[in-house]
Amino acid sequence: MKSKALKFTIPVILLLISINSVLAQYSDQDILEDKCTVIVVGKKASTDGSIISTHTSDCGVCDWTWRYVEPKDHAEGAMRKIYWFEQFATTPPRKGTNWDNLEDNFNGLEIPEIPHTFGYLHGMFGYMNDNQVAFGESTIGCKRQLRNNTPTPKFDITMLTLIAMERATTARHAIQIMGELAEEYGYGHTDTGEMLSVSDPDELWIFEIMPVGPLWTPETGKPGAIWCAQRVPDDHVSVCPNESRIGEINLKNKDFFMASENVISYAVDRRWYDPEGDKPFSWKHSYAPGEFSATSSGGSRARMWRFYDLMAPSKKFSADTPNMDFPFSIKPEKKYSVEDIIDMLRDKFDGTEFWTAKGIQGGPFQNPNHLPYGFEVDGKKYDTPRCIGVNRAEYTAVTQTRNWLPNPIGGIVWIGFGAQDTDCFMPFYQGVTAIPYSFEIGDHWEFNRESARWAFDYVDFHTQVLYNHAIKDVRDAQEKYEKSVMRLIPEIDNIAHKFYKQSPEKAKAYLTKYCNDNANNVINTWWKLGDDLLVKYNHLWIYNVKERKRSRPTYPEFWLRELVKYNNLQPSAGSDH
- Answer for the pair 532, 544: CB distance below 8 angstroms, yes or no: no
Residue 11's pLDDT band, with cuts at 50, 70 and 90, is: very low
Q: What is the mean pLDDT of residues 196-200?
A: 98
Over residues 473-498, the pLDDT tens digits come to: 999 999 999 999 999 999 999 999 99
Cα 169 from Cα 402, distance rounded (Å):
15
The predicted pLDDT at position 574 comes to 65
Spatial CA neighbour of 146 closest among 84, 208, 210, 190: 210
The dihedral region occupied by 107, where left means phi > 0, alpha psi between -120 and 50, and beta the remainder, is: alpha
Over residues 287-309, the pLDDT tens digits come to: 999 989 999 999 999 999 999 99
Residue 21's pLDDT band, with cuts at 50, 70 and 90, is: very low
DSSP state of 180: H
Over residues 111-145, the pLDDT tens digits come to: 999 999 999 999 999 999 999 999 999 999 999 99
Spatial CA neighbour of 435 closest among 374, 515, 370: 515
3-class SS shares of the chain: helix, strand, coil, % to 5: 35, 20, 45
Query: Dihedral of CA 140/38/125/421: which sign?
Result: negative
Assess whether pLDDT exceeds 90 at residue 75: yes
Residue 28's pLDDT band, with cuts at 50, 70 and 90, is: low
Cα 434 from Cα 513, distance rounded (Å):
9
Could you tell me whether strands 79-83 and 257-259 are parallel, antiparallel, or unpaired per DSSP bridges?
unpaired
Residue 73's pLDDT band, with cuts at 50, 70 and 90, is: very high
Question: Out of 21-25, 339-343, 452-456, 534-538, which region has the weakest mean confidence (pLDDT)?
Answer: 21-25
The predicted pLDDT at position 398 comes to 98
Q: What is the mean pLDDT of residues 51-64?
A: 94
Give the SS3 label for residue 72.
Answer: strand
Query: What average pLDDT does the structure give for the chain?
Result: 93
Assess whether pLDDT exceeds 70 at residue 32: no
Assess whether pLDDT exceeds 50 at residue 532: yes
Q: Which residues pair with 39 in a beta bridge?
A: 239
Assess whether pLDDT exceeds 50 at residue 8: no
Q: What percentage of the chain has pLDDT greater than the value 70?
A: 93
- Answer for the pair 477, 88: CB distance below 8 angstroms, yes or no: no
Residue 317's pLDDT band, with cuts at 50, 70 and 90, is: very high
